[in-house]
Amino acid sequence: MKPVKIGICGLGTVGSGTFNVIFRNQREINARAGCDITIAQVGARRDNPACDTGDVSVERDIFAVARNPEIDVLVELIGGTTIAKDLVFEAIANGKHIVTANKALIAEFGNEIFAAAEAKGVSVSFEAAVAGGIPIIKAIREGLAANRIEWLAGIINGTGNFILTEMRDKGRAFADVLVEAQELGYAEADPTFDVEGIDAAHKLVILASLAFGMPLQFDKVFTEGISNIAPEDVAYAEELGYRIKHLGIARASQAEGVSGIELRVHPTLIPEKRLIANVDGVMNAVLVKGDAVGPTMYYGPGAGAEPTASSVIADIVDVARSIHADPSHRVAHLAFQPEALSDINILPIAEVETAYYLRLAAQDKPGVLSQVASILSDDGISIEALIQKEANEGEEVVPLILLTNRVVEKALMAAVARLEDLQAIEGSVIHIRMESLG
């Protein structure tokens, strides 16, 4: 086979990692691809001291790489959804295959990008867009092809996982740990995408589309961050045998006769005995439940120069192997053939059924617990576990912690509103969803 020439656009953390790993492991990579893979050009606005490009041509105008007739595969590693989007469409129009690590680009514009690629007979590969070095996309798209996927749940943002781990292990407050995460380079100066769940939502919608055979629908993901998680809730969860993790969850649901797919990112209590509950620090993990294989878990580094480069290069190898294949014989972008994708109903969060953790600030006097239990019972909610703490000296309010049975969210929120109206309950009722993931 003739050499496959690639152009890398973006020489930041992932771009430099990809360049360095290709040069270091050239022999192994080419042996697996069955042809020579060569970096013919780099597009970067500035050099990176972590990457010696040697005699490889470096072009400051990245669009020149997209138009270069010598380039077979454009590797988009600049990030964002503006210039990157234009670059990818330009490269596709010029007959280039695409490899990208850009989860926001795929989550928000993937449907249009895939349609353009199919019309042009080129492929778009995006393994590195979700969970860094973990080959989760290949696992769902190919390794689990025999299965009807029932649900998946993942820790798919390392920054949030690091913060929650520190809060649990050291009893620290969210704001305190966030500062450290920024100092360590785990969180950006503006951490909104990480701590408010937007990054995880981008990744979840990609996984869900692969799992359930539907177009990408980022705008329908329910997203809730971790900035309001208090140290006491982390501690109470631990006391009850649970851990709080920030999860992306996609599930085929039949809650109370309402069928559809749940797409949600939020803090979640999970039993501490589950493997995924013990994924700590900046590591990522994804659980996938297939009807044939049962639950499987995929664990590893979710970011970093070389772990992410590992996934980028795996995609390059896949493209090199199939570059001369009939486009209709390549693995479909979203696992299912384009004509088989269906607009499955996405359930609003109000229709989703889960169990709940509730924390109330209750006045320390007789009859309060019975009032709380009566309100919950009226909405069909039973109490599965209860912790009532002693009041500190001089205080008249005590924490009351409840775990409920599974209930549809709209019923839970109706009960919460009534609880907050009680004179014996002060402030807001803290509620966090729970999943067994069994």
Query: Which residues are identified as catalytic?
Result: 203
CB 242 within 8 A of CB 434: yes
Looking at 157-245, list the stretches that DSSP marks H as alpha helix, in order from N- to C-terminal side.
Answer: 158-170, 174-183, 192-195, 198-212, 231-239
Which residues neighbour 226 within 8 Å (Cβ) at sequence distance 6 or greater?
A: 160, 163, 164, 174, 195, 197, 246, 267
Q: How far apart are CA 17 and CA 11, in angstroms?
A: 8
The residues facing 362 across adjacent strands are 398, 425
Distance (Å, rounded) from C-alpha 436 to C-alpha 354? 9
3-state secondary structure (DSSP) of residue 245: strand
Count CA within 13 A, CB hemisphere, residue 387: 16
Within 323-367, residue ranges assigned H as helices are none
Please report how the helices 26-33 and 13-24 are oriented relative to each other, as an axis angle in degrees rounded to 10.
80
Q: Please identify which residue in the block is written with the tokens 């589950």.
A: 274
Single out the residue of 148, 2, 10, 135 nearest to residue 84, CA to CA: 10
Give 262's strand partners.
251
Distance CA 125, CA 73 (A): 10
Q: How many CB atoms lie within 10 A of CB 242?
A: 24
Residues composing the chain: 438
Q: Strand 97-100 to strand 73-76: parallel, antiparallel, or no bridges (unpaired)?
A: parallel
For residues 66 and 91, the answer to whether their CB atoms sit within 8 Å is yes
Please tell me whether residue 121 adopts helix, strand or coil conformation.
Answer: coil
Burial of 25 (0-12, 13-18, 19+ CB in 10 A): middle
Listed in order, strand segments (DSSP E) in 60-102 are: 73-76, 97-100
